[in-house]
Chains A and B, each alone.
Chain A
């Protein structure tokens, strides 16, 4: 398969992107992919999502100058901890510290939806520091199993699950 951009080199990067809920396929050679500022994340691959980001974050349309120098400081969205501004984040495609997430919070939703198709974490929770969240996740799982048991009229098992859920809820209250 040839690269859809230049039609000359073989396409080695194949990926699908979801843009406004619609799937688009891309078949690019490495050179054209680089020029798009995109490449596939993977090992040994320094990939830049610069363009992907800057086209997507509604960056300050007046450009770089205004943010750093001319504009009133209060209007610049800047992480209080590491000093990274939202515009800088858009340009380099990297957060500066963990507080950047809270600082840029609401604006990040569309970006995460585009890259991951989701905005909320559902995976692992730290065992030691993630205490309450871990319990809440477990309760959610148990509640799903409980519903299934009730549907199948497995009432003994359902009662057992209900007890377990009650115990976990008490645990959460104790921690509060």
Chain B
């Protein structure tokens, strides 16, 4: 497979980096958890019950949902049919969870063609409907998830009671079953150090923040995910609006920090982002930690106009495609960490040269 073909298959809608405020917001996601009445939750379901759940959901997909334009060419993928590497790639694209990949019984996922919709079956709950868009499109993601939920509910009896709302396996999801999250790129706040005040402030209003892509306590590429924690006692719109409001403030802070850095030390900044571009272009080995931080620099350089002729989306794509699963998928073989560093630099150079060629 040529690199272009591989790329073509690898890119989900959310990685295209073209939504509103995409210079800071990478992606917006809404996920709702639902369970079917009359079946134990997946943790306790027998193999035959788990199969029945997949069957029920698949029937609804075929009979009803496939008429919706969003589900044209949608596919159902069973975890039992996938190689480990293919599962990893879906995980790195945020289309399935590690739990679905490794711990589910007859887990499955329905993916829309552009992969903005992913419906996990037999994850911790029977159904996890996820809508994932690029840029700042939380409300849009909720509206779509809500519509899909209505479509399923026409045919499936949900576990629901008046007091607790939608019943979920974990008490942290009960009620609305909604988890809304936004992935933001905050390099300037990291440079000025203001990130250390901002993150606790976000936590203080009851939202969760965490670095992503890091292993252990690290945060790679200055990427953070902000999400709601409360699912019970607030309406879906209240939850979405609150998160939206906080993210709007985060965007403003990051914009202010970018102006500040530009005013105070423009030459240092230009030097830094161009050095990082140089390393991405010319290195022959690069580990994932360095790759992420260089990609973050270059992305900032593009946003601030220091780097021209490279689309911002290249960085979004490479942040995903330089993960270990992707690298091994592209190489079509298992790779030791040292080999991955070599392959990673090759992949980055191929992607960047494709950009310059156009």
Contact = CB atoms under 8 A, between A and B. Distances in A.
B229 A1 contact: no
B179 interface: yes
A94 B42 CA distance: 11
A11 B217 CA distance: 7
For the residues of A in contact with B, the DSSP-based class is loop
Given A82-B44, A122-B233, A98 B179 contact: no
B236 to A, nearest CB: 5
A95 B179 contact: no
A16 B236 contact: no
Contacts of A133: 162
A155 interface: no
Contacts of A25: 200, 203-204
Interface string A69-111: 0000000000001101000000011111110011000001001
Contacts of A30: 216-217
Interface of B: 29, 31, 35, 37, 39-41, 43-44, 91, 94, 97-99, 124, 146, 149-150, 153-154, 157-176, 178-179, 181, 196, 199-200, 202-206, 208-212, 214, 216-219, 225, 227, 229-236
A101 B29 contact: no
Interface of A: 1, 3, 9-16, 23, 25-27, 29-31, 40-46, 49, 53, 81-82, 84, 92-98, 101-102, 108, 111-112, 115-130, 133
A82 B164 contact: no
Contacts of B40: 81-82, 96-97
Contacts of A97: 39-41, 44
Contact of B41 (A42, A95, A120): A95
Given A14-B209, A25-B204, A44-B91, 8 more contacts: A12-B219, A43-B179, A53-B171, A94-B124, A95-B170, A96-B40, A96-B44, A127-B153
B2 to A, nearest CB: 30
Contacts of B31: 43
